[in-house]
Amino acid sequence: MRVVFGIDVSKASSEVAIWLNGEKVHGYTISNDATGFARLSDDLKTVQQPEIIFEATGVYSRRLQAFLEENGYAYTRLNPLEAKKQLDSLRVRKTDKMDAEKLAQSQFVLNRKPTYIQKEVYQELRDLSRFYQNLTEDIVKTKNRLHKVLQVTFPELESILSTPTGQQYWNLVIAFPCKEMVLELNNDELSNVIRKSTYKRISKKRVEYLSDKLIELAKQSYCAVKKTSPMLEEARYYAQELLRLFERRQVILDNMVALAQPLPEYDILLSIPGIAETTATSIIGELGDIRRFQSANQINAFIGIDLRHYESGNFLAKEHITKRGNPYARKILFKCIHNIASASHTNPCHIADFYEKRKRQSQIASTKPHTIASIHRLIRTMYYLITHNKLYDYTSTQNH
């Protein structure tokens, strides 16, 4: 006897369809809360080894997934695109109720395997990774806003340090959002403010250099607003926000590293030249337990860098990546290739060798195709090393 529960998850409620040996026996709506899950639990307890099928709907399906895992039920979680392909031929009309029924009905034909349930640490790392990336996006946006304001109040301040970023720079913006706040101080007062603007010890010579440069930039500047302008407070606000975001992001990174360090793949990823702790923890967070994949090609499909092939008659379309997978992982690995290429000057890597070779042989200016090809090679390398529990060794790659 086979009993299948097809569940279509929405924001606040879910449609449940129960099928027994290919025939529908019951269907109802539950709320996505303790009351609704208790109703579902009562039905699940009446069946031995129920097959539970639902479509991943982002954050909305997380509560159902947590309920099933806490109660020890195996389940099959479908990728939305996979579900669409499987169910489109069965759909005459599309409603939440019909979707739940088709999920259950199709299981008797497709016999989908249960979803691999990863250790909780991988989900926590993914949540932290997304938090880290959101904070990074907020930092970029706030930097852009600060830049626009300073173009009106004190644009020359951006050249006070080698790069207009970092804790000392943002503290200087808070102290001197316009030139008048520099020129109204004497040398001793200016030196004291500069000294307080850094979290590290700073030499007297460095303080004198920054003080002289600030005065020079202030005399050179022409402010577009008065000292009483609200734009000065806006500049201070963005600088303070950057300090807060920067500090918070570092805390998140420290938490990610603490979670990832006990995992064997953490040291393996760090052994690949060009991969530092931020990238290693982000890769683990986005890819999860790599051992659950049957091959490196499955990881390619998971992140959406598998090639789309179209051929009809004598026509052969140019191949492009599908971009149907995890965009966060794709972005991380894309940056990772450039980090590996940069590190290769002092720390050689066969992936960097491959990337540079493709660049030399290419007739096009864009490096995107070479980066994608290098990501394929990086994924194969990571998959082999992690599944065989080996550290990266450049010399061994030269023997193949």
Q: Tell me the pLDDT band of 311, cut-offs 50, 70 and 90.
A: very low
Neighbours of 133 (CB within 10 A): 18
Distinct helix (H) and strand (E) counts, the chain:
17, 9
Classify the C-alpha dihedral 354-357-359-362 as positive or negative: negative
pLDDT above 60 for 126: yes
Residue type, 243: L
- How many CA atoms does the CB half-sphere of 68 hold within 13 Å? 23
Torsion on CA atoms 370, 302, 275, 128, rounded to nearest 10: 140
> Mind listing the domains of the chain with CATH numbers?
3-110 (3.30.420.10), 124-257 (1.10.287.4070), 264-397 (no CATH)
> What value does the CA radius of gyration of the chain take, rounded to a whole number of Å?
28
**Residue 332's closest CA among 175, 132, 80?**
132
The answer to whether 129 and 122 have CB atoms below 8 angstroms apart is no
99-117: per-residue pLDDT in tens?
999 999 999 999 999 999 9
**Residue 252's closest CA among 225, 223, 281, 216?**
281
DSSP-assigned states of every residue in 164-223: S-SHHHHHHHHH-SSTHHHHTS-HHHHHHHHHHT-SS---HHHHHHHHHHHHHHHHH---
Average pLDDT taken over every residue of the chain: 90
The answer to whether 382 and 269 have CB atoms below 8 angstroms apart is yes
Q: What is the pLDDT of residue 92?
A: 56
Q: Tell me the pLDDT band of 93, cut-offs 50, 70 and 90.
A: low
- Chain position carrying tokens 């450039």: 338
13-55: per-residue pLDDT in tens?
999 999 999 999 999 999 999 999 999 999 999 999 999 999 9
